[in-house]
Amino acid sequence: MAAANALTAREAAVKAARAKEEADVTAREAAAVVLRLFDNDAELVSELLGVPAEELEREAKPVTAARAKEIIEGLRSRAERPRATRTRKPRAEATDAVPSISGAPAPIVAADGSRADAA
């Protein structure tokens, strides 16, 4: 039982380490991309994001310019794609509840389904 628990804990630790590494890579790439988009103006990006400029530069340094450019091109192509739109069916309640525009008062319907005159 203890060995199974140890194995499970080890597997969880390995998964967590992989997830952390992926998150670190994503953060480094994001820093490189944002710096590239703002012409490597670390001071401006630092002010916009509230992150020290030195930290941004340190994070972005391991990312190649080619990788940053590749990410930017991917983002641009995603932004240019038309979004998939779903057709919506008109709601029956909404079409029945539309008030009349004729200027005549709408009749009041009682709870039993009969009409009562509006006062």
> pLDDT tens across 49-101, in order?
999 999 999 999 989 989 999 999 999 998 887 777 777 777 766 555 555 55
pTM of the model: 0.58
Q: What's at 106, amino acid-wise?
A: A
- Residues 10-51: tens digit of each pLDDT: 999 999 999 999 999 999 999 999 999 999 999 999 999 999
Q: Distance between the two ends of the chain, CA-based, in angstroms?
A: 79
Q: What 8-state DSSP symbol labels residue 116?
A: E
CA 27 – CA 58 distance, rounded (Å): 11
The angle subtended at Cα 17 by Cα 16 and Cα 21, nearest 5°, is 115
Q: Where are the alpha helices (DSSP H) in 1-119?
A: 2-37, 42-49, 53-60, 65-80, 92-96
